[in-house]
Amino acid sequence: MSAAVSEGRRPATPSTTEPAWVRRSLIALALVFLTLFLFVPLAAVFVEALKKGLQVYWAAITEPDAVSAIRLTMIAALVAVPLNLVFGIAAAWAIAKFDFRGKNVLLTLIDLPFSVSPVIAGLIYVLVFGLQGWFGEWLRDHDLKVIFALPGIVLATVFITFPFVARELIPLMQAQGTEQEEAARVLGAGGWQMFLRVTLPNVKWALLYGVILCNARAMGEFGAVSVVSGHIRGQTNTMPLHIEILYNEYQFAAAFAVASLLAGLALVTLLVKFLVERRIQRSTISV
Amino acid sequence: MSIQVRNLNKRFGATVVCDNLNLDIGDGELVALLGPSGSGKTTLLRIIAGLEVPDSGSVLFHGEDATSADVRERKVGFVFQHYALFGHMTIFENVAFGLRVKPRDVRPSEATIRAKVMELLTLVQLDSIAGRYPHQLSGGQRQRIALARALAVEPKMLLLDEPFGALDARVRKELRRWLRRLHDEVHVTSVFVTHDQEEAMEVADRIVVMNQGRIEQDGPPDEVYDRPATPFVLQFLGDVNVFHGRLGSAAGKDGEISFVRPHELDVVPAAAPGTVEATLVQALTVGPNTRLEFRRSADQSFVDVEMARSDWMALRDRLGLATGSTVHLLPRKVTRFAAEDVDFDPAAMI
């Protein structure tokens, strides 16, 4: 955002600017809003987390239940992100470079997780794989547990983070067209050579950006995971769920301590995103 | 390598873009596919390259059927209108691409690749900028790099899709001559697509004029210009005046339409056999040439006459011409077609 604004910066002319007092009050309003709704809450997380000292903080994030929640969140993200990376590239490739029947249906399907409430997404999996669901009995007979277990959490996370990579790649790939790929083919490149040497380098920054967003969402997802997890402490609690439980039990310092980890992750994500965006801008300006 | 196209058909939806095409291109020839947009020339080129699959018909390379051969196996060099250079690679790597993606057993050594690429960059006179990226180059330079990249794999033929279409007029002119010279040096069979008749006349050994998926005429530039086979070719290759009915000293038949190019009309003071009476509407001088716009007395239609500026000055002084003067126009060369062959609207071609 900020990069895009500064790029279009021009000396203000009387015809496009407002009186100084209007400008100043608009800026002040925006700053007050940002402070109240973004900076204060973020600061509050860290302040609350460290209120009772570093020792309490450390204890809160190293107690077995917290460690288990952190591990589970990591596992879910580690499965969901690579899966959606592969899926996103494949879908974007198909949509951007080929014409086929049902292309718009596929596009709409990719957007489905954005438009469906996460809680509904979780419920869908309960209805399909839960004990009373379609495959419930079959799964029980074969001693497979999906709902209230790791597979369910991973499934819900994959579903929720489905669109991020594909959505990031499709517009860019569409804009780039197929000429470079055709050039590569004519020059004798095989399918993989074309993909690895031409297509992938052309979208690498957008791809990284998509992965960052996908990862942030995978780790932070609450609604869908909450429905399928069953909240079993030390077993099926992810970080967001663990935080909720701690908070409900009035263990504020511990809740904020774990929350600070997620918030820290968000900040790191934003930083990486900012750096990547700067890269994207440089490479698109130069092309 | 020679190219033969046999009974080639291709349609996109309801639009026929290649309508039973037959074409022979000899070894080492430089051929232009000339036609308006939508005439099927680019599709024909892409089918020859293997980037498009024909609905029916075949493409033969040196007599061997290549219709179902994969793009990679055809060993063609293709130059795209918008260059299609790889933006994330240096100029050197762009040119080296075709060599680097060869299967390991036939891939040249790093030293050979380096020598080959530098040789090609010298050929296109851009060896000094091997380390730059495509976006740092001008349009003309990019297109030369695209050519060098296509030549790197030692293609059996070079196919160019509107290679100068995206360049400004001056650079175009320069690159045309340069392509002509390059072809004289390298002698690889080359086919290029263009909608610019001047470009086709200047560069090609042979011009194939296409319209609505069909080949209208196929011949050397002079022949296509002087003896157009169809009214379309006549009109596409340059400005022309249209006269309905009898014109000129030769006995014209009724129902014929006569065409006279603007520079093949003489302005004479008195009526003579074959002349047309007309009034001068305006005279426009652009550079060395003057274009005179006349209105025919008979049917009020406009007739253009073109001559050298100096000739116009002399003529004006000799006949005392001014806007509104009535004179007579004598065609030196008339091309006639039966009216039923002239089935298109000349205005639609602008």
Residues of B in contact with A188 (CB under 8 A): 72, 98, 101-102, 153
Q: What is the pLDDT of residues B202-225, one digit of tens each?
A: 999 999 999 999 999 999 999 999
Mean local confidence (pLDDT), A34-54: 90
**Residue B191 and residue B160 in contact, taking contact as beta carbons nearer than 8 Å:** yes
| Percent of chain B topping pLDDT 70 | 94
> Is residue B267 exposed (0-12), middle (13-18) or buried (19+ Cβ within 10 Å)?
buried
Q: Which residue in B46, B47, B72 has the most chain A C-beta atoms within 10 A of its own C-beta, making it the best mutation to test that interface?
A: B72
Residues of A in contact with B72 (CB under 8 A): 185-186, 188-190
Q: What is the pLDDT of residues A146-163, one digit of tens each?
A: 888 889 999 999 999 999
Minimal Cα distance from B48: which residue of A? A186
Q: Report the complex ipTM.
A: 0.83
Q: Which residue in B82, B86, B107 has the most chain A C-beta atoms within 10 A of its own C-beta, making it the best mutation to test that interface?
A: B86
At B107, the pLDDT band (50, 70, 90 cuts) reads very high
CA dihedral B293, B296, B302, B303 (to 10 degrees): -60
Is A182 in Cβ contact with B101 (below 8 Å)?
no
Is A184 in Cβ contact with B76 (below 8 Å)?
no
Residues of B in contact with A196 (CB under 8 A): none
Residues of B in contact with A202 (CB under 8 A): 87-88
> What is the enclosing helix (H) or strand (E) of B190?
strand B189-194
Is B86 in Cβ contact with A183 (below 8 Å)?
yes
At B252, the pLDDT band (50, 70, 90 cuts) reads low
Which 3-state string (H, E, C) describes A44-111? Answer: HHHHHHCCCHHHHHHHHHHCHHHHHHHHHHHHHHHHHHHHHHHHHHHHHHHHHHCCCCCHHHHHHHHH
Residues of A in contact with B152 (CB under 8 A): 187
Whether the full predicted model's pTM is greater than 0.95, yes or no, is no
Residues of B in contact with A198 (CB under 8 A): 86
Is A198 in Cβ contact with B86 (below 8 Å)?
yes
At A214, the pLDDT band (50, 70, 90 cuts) reads very high
Is the pLDDT reported for residue A224 higher than 50? yes
Nearest to B197 by CA among B140, B239, B241: B239
CB pairs under 8 A between A and B: 65
Mean local confidence (pLDDT), A228-249: 88
Is the pLDDT reported for residue A135 higher than 90? no
Residues of B in contact with A179 (CB under 8 A): 80, 82, 84
Is the pLDDT reported for residue A144 higher than 90? no
**SS3 call for B153:** coil
Residues of A in contact with B150 (CB under 8 A): 186-187
Query: Longest Cα pair distance anywhere in chain B, in angstroms?
Result: 80
Is A198 in Cβ contact with B72 (below 8 Å)?
no
Mean local confidence (pLDDT), B63-76: 89
**Residue A223 and residue A123 in contact, taking contact as beta carbons nearer than 8 Å:** no
Chain A nearest C-alpha distance from B153 (Å): 7
B184 — phi, psi (to 5°)? Answer: -65, -30
| Percent of chain A topping pLDDT 90 | 46
DSSP state letters, B214-265: EEEEEE-HHHHHHS-SSHHHHHHTS--EEEES--SSS-PPTTEEEEE-GGGE
**Residue B62 and residue B24 in contact, taking contact as beta carbons nearer than 8 Å:** no
Is B98 in Cβ contact with A182 (below 8 Å)?
no
Chain B nearest C-alpha distance from A18 (Å): 38
Token pair listed for A57: 């903080």
Is A190 in Cβ contact with B71 (below 8 Å)?
no
Q: What is the pLDDT of residues A160-213, one digit of tens each?
A: 999 999 999 999 999 988 999 999 999 999 889 999 999 999 998 889 889 988
| Percent of chain B topping pLDDT 90 | 57
Q: Do strands B189-194 and B15-25 pair parallel, antiparallel, or not at all (unpaired)? A: unpaired
Mean local confidence (pLDDT), A211-229: 90
Nearest to B148 by CA among B185, B74, B187, B98: B98
Beta bridge partners of B244: B257
C-alpha span between B226 and A74 (Å, rounded): 78
Residues of B in contact with A183 (CB under 8 A): 78, 80, 84-86, 149
Is the pLDDT reported for residue B347 higher than 50? no
Q: Which residue in A182, A186, A199, A282 has the most chain B C-beta atoms within 10 A of its own C-beta, making it the best mutation to test that interface?
A: A186
Residues of B in contact with A201 (CB under 8 A): 86, 88
Minimal Cα distance from A199: which residue of B? B86
Chain B nearest C-alpha distance from A184 (Å): 8
Is the pLDDT reported for residue A286 higher than 80? no
Q: Which residues of B touch A (CB under 8 A)?
A: 49-51, 71-72, 76-78, 80, 82, 84-88, 97-98, 101-102, 133, 135, 149-150, 152-153
Is B165 or B51 the better-scoring residue by pLDDT?
B51
